[in-house]
């Protein structure tokens, strides 16, 4: 049974644990692994976000820098130019909180000023020394994720002696660091980082053991949608990597999402909101039976 939490996000409140919260992914980038280039146009991005909200998204997560394996960081000016027009247009149009997916404190600061109310930092406050102070000063929720090194090198032979123990210890220390920097515990969400510095087997192990992280007493976010471990498992023998947009990959994603919810995830980060709404309704009913 998931513990229940109240997450205050500016004018919005999310009641986590009563049902699964769905975060819709909106990448305004030319090179993200699944939807890169589809929503670089502001109008297209805004329209897609509105459709995700209509389909049942509880949060819209906007990112202006790809964090796919081996990706390079983009200049802060480019990231700001990509995300700000979309946030500014959406802030008054959608009735759900906007999350800014960034590792840069200045991007986070400007995004919140424009209407975002959650900061999603895959680096767990490590890549920008100013991020913790910005989060604390803005008093908004922050998602802190486990990742080895950086996106550029995280997939270079990731190894663990004890995967779950090490990821859990990392997140424990990250939460402690956040609190030591005046970030309220009630504003923190943890993410074990599916696909970030893990091999295919690691990702399946994480999905199986999501509940192990519940002892940290922090809401848990899981983001398996369309990632390489799913595509690799579904491909036939020596078949080339499957396109993330294939229907079979989305079916595999829904299976991974179902496993996440069954094992304790409070929030799932996904591309297909409508499909996930259906999955979550059924798995939430199973969990509540």
Cα gap 230→227, rounded to integer Å: 6
Given the residues 227, 231, 235, 240, the one annotated as active site: 227
Higher pLDDT, 277 or 43: 277
> What is the percent of the chain with per-residue pLDDT over 70, rounded to a whole number?
92
pLDDT of residue 157: 73
Sequence-distant (≥ 6) Cβ neighbours of residue 142 within 8 angstroms: 118, 119, 120, 121, 125, 135, 178, 183, 187, 188, 189
CB–CB of 33/229 below 8 Å? no
Mean pLDDT estimate for the chain? 92
pLDDT of residue 29: 79
Q: pLDDT tens digits for 85-102?
A: 999 999 999 999 999 999
Helices (H), the chain: 42-55, 76-90, 105-114, 131-138, 163-180, 200-208, 228-234, 247-262, 273-288
CB–CB of 265/256 below 8 Å? no
190: tokens are: 């943890």
pLDDT of residue 143: 98
pLDDT of residue 107: 96
> What is the percent of the chain with per-residue pLDDT over 90, rounded to a whole number?
82
Average pLDDT rounded to a whole number, residues 130-135: 98
| CA-to-CA dists, residue 284 to 14, 25, 86, 189, 191, angstroms | 16, 21, 32, 20, 20
pLDDT of residue 222: 98
pLDDT of residue 151: 65
pLDDT of residue 236: 85
Q: pLDDT tens digits for 22-37?
A: 999 999 977 545 454 4
pLDDT of residue 158: 82
- Say whether 59 sits in a helix, a strand or coil: strand
Q: pLDDT tens digits for 142-189?
A: 999 999 876 666 566 788 999 999 999 999 999 999 999 999 999 999
Angle between helices 163-180 and 200-208 (to 10 degrees): 70
5-288: CATH topology? TIM Barrel (3.20.20)
Q: Which of 116-120, 153-157, 167-171, 281-285 has the lowest mean pLDDT?
A: 153-157
**pLDDT over 70 at 56, yes or no:** yes
Name the nearest CA neighbour of 59 among 97, 95, 32: 97
- Say whether 266 sits in a helix, a strand or coil: coil
Name the nearest CA neighbour of 280 among 289, 271, 268: 268
pLDDT of residue 114: 96
**pLDDT over 90 at 251, yes or no:** yes
Average pLDDT rounded to a whole number, residues 242-246: 90
| CA-to-CA dists, residue 226 to 83, 233, 272, angstroms | 23, 11, 10
Given the residues 82, 148, 231, 269, the one annotated as active site: 269
Average pLDDT rounded to a whole number, residues 38-59: 90
Angle between helices 131-138 and 163-180 (to 10 degrees): 60
269 is a catalytic site residue: yes
């Amino acid at each position: 049974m998931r513990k229940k939490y109240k997450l205050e996000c500016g004018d919005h409140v999310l009641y986590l644990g009563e049902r699964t919260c769905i975060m819709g992914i909106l990448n305004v980038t030319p090179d993200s692994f699944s939807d890169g280039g589809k929503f670089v146009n502001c109008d297209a991005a805004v329209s897609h976000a509105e459709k995700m909200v209509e389909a049942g998204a509880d949060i819209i997560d906007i990112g202006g820098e790809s964090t796919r394996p081996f990706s390079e960081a983009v200049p802060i000016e480019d990231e700001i130019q990509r995300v700000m027009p979309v946030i500014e247009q959406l802030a008054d149009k959608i009735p759900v909180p906007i999350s800014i997916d960034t590792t840069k404190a200045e991007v986070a600061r400007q995004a919140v000023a424009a209407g975002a109310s959650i900061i999603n930092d895959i680096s767990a406050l490590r890549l920008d020394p100013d991020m913790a102070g910005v989060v604390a000063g803005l008093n908004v929720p922050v998602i802190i994720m486990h990742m080895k090194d950086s996106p550029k090198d995280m997939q270079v032979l990731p190894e663990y002696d004890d995967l779950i123990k090490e990821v859990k210890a990392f997140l424990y220390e990250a939460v402690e660091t956040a609190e030591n920097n005046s970030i309220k515990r009630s504003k923190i969400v943890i993410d074990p980082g599916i696909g970030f510095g893990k091999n295919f087997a690691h990702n399946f192990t994480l999905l199986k053991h999501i509940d192990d992280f519940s002892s940290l007493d922090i809401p848990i976010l899981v983001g398996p949608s369309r990632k390489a471990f799913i595509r690799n498992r579904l491909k036939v023998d020596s078949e080339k990597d499957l396109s993330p947009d294939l229907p079979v990959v989305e079916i595999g994603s829904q299976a991974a999402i179902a496993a996440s919810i069954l094992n304790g995830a409070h929030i799932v980060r996904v591309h297909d909101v409508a499909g996930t709404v259906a999955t979550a309704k059924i798995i939430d009913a199973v969990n509540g039976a």
